Amino acid sequence: MISDIIEKHSPPGYSVRSELNTLYAGLGLSLFFSLGFFAKYFASLNALYDIDEGKRFLRENVKCEDFADILGIYLTGFIFTAVVMLFFMLARYLYTQTASKSIYTLRRLPEKGIEFRYFILMPITYAIISLLAGFLVLTVYFAIYMLATPNECITAAQWYKIWRL
Amino acid sequence: MLRIENLLKTYGGKTALKDVSLEIPRGEIIGLFGENGAGKTTLMKCILGFVRYSGEITLDGDCINTKNIASISYATCEHSFFPDISATAHRDFYEEHFPAFNRRRFEGLMDFFDLPRHKVLRTFSTGQKNQFEVILALSQGADYILMDEPFAGNDIFNREDFYKVLLGILEPHETVILSTHLIEEVSGFIGRAILIRKGRIIGDVTVDELDEQQKTLVSYIKETYDYRGDRVSKALNDITGEEE
């Protein structure tokens, strides 16, 4: 069904499978790379505690590293995927120039915005999906940080500090 | 009426078309003749809006845009079909986008040329690809059918079949503008010849006018092009150093 919708917005005969495979792979790898956040976060979390006779104690006046600092580059995979997906605009255009000049047929269609529909719309949609996925992961990781970190160890304005980057 | 006025097209400072003005009513079969690089293809691309130009091209008084572009179809030796879908898929695509698509003509021509309906176009032979390109242009339901060397690479039998079919199926409101080098082949069925040289129209004559002047199309073109009959013998003499 997804393929049908994409094909309707692609030059006839163009293989949308390669686009979807790239998107899925990009999202998967981005998610996998983002898991590095947890390694850094748990290290920061552990640094809040002292261990005495096998028991963990929260150190006094200690602050957890800011969420933004822990997050670092772990979500850049989603941005990279979004950029890569934009290159499919070029791939789609080149498809209509190789083997035949089907671009001539597309340009003769009696509808406005044909080039946007066939070349631009889906790659931009993929890029937006990737960025939204990144934002979703950001939100989940932020919620985990806020819930799992002791309140007294969290400095103010964590959410705003992300965007200050 | 397709009207072209003072058309000027340049490519990076090089003039491809200059001072081109034409009036092309419905119901004509027109041969567009000229040597390679004369501007035939550029003229067609200007009509279709594929390239920017100066001057004015109108169809029934209106600029050519998405509202009236379906009235013009295009067959080119470069091919404009989608190589990875079948003939049937093309038919469905054209039916979806071109309201006047003539399914009956499409099916009839597919049968006539005996083309496979369910194989992707990429697997067709060059001759079959050319035939299919022409079938699409003729079936679109356009009033103006532009054909740019549609049979480059096809054998004489293919071409003769095409001419016969073309004459048989065209309706009175349909105009064909056929760009070709095969002057003698098409001289029997075109009604008007337009000659283009170095981007300028140097001749525009109807077959009736030629008949009145008792000239053949070939002789008219040679005359208009200032063709030198002794060109070959002179060149041979120069090359071989022999006198006749």
For the segment A143-163, what is each residue's pLDDT rounded down to a tens digit?
999 999 999 999 999 888 888
Considering only CB atoms, which chain B residues are within 8 Å of A15? Answer: 84
pLDDT at residue B116 tops 80: yes
Question: Closest to B81 (Cβ–Cβ): which among A105, A107, A111?
Answer: A105
Q: What's residue B216's pLDDT? A: 87
> What is the widest separation between alpha-carbon atoms in chain A?
80
What chain B holds in terms of domains, given with CATH numbers, is 2-201 (3.40.50.300)
Considering only CB atoms, which chain B residues are within 8 Å of A102? Answer: 80-83
ipTM score assigned to the predicted complex = 0.88
Q: Where are the domains of chain A?
A: 15-49+58-164
Sign of CA dihedral A132, A138, A140, A143: negative
pLDDT at residue B227 tops 70: no
Range B223-230 average pLDDT: 72
Range A130-148 average pLDDT: 96
Sheet holding B62-63, edge to edge: B14-24, B2-11, B54-59, B62-63
Distance from CA of B197 to the nearest CA of A (A): 25
pLDDT at residue B241 tops 80: no
pLDDT at residue B50 tops 60: yes
**Between B231 and A62, residue with greater pLDDT:** A62
Q: What's residue B228's pLDDT? A: 66
pLDDT at residue B244 tops 60: no
CB B86 within 8 A of CB B80: no
Sign of CA dihedral B220, B18, B21, B186: positive
For the segment B143-158, what is each residue's pLDDT rounded down to a tens digit?
999 999 888 777 777 7
Q: By CA distance, what is B137's nearest residue in A?
A: A105
Question: CA geometry: angle at A71 spanning A66 and A72, to 5°?
Answer: 100
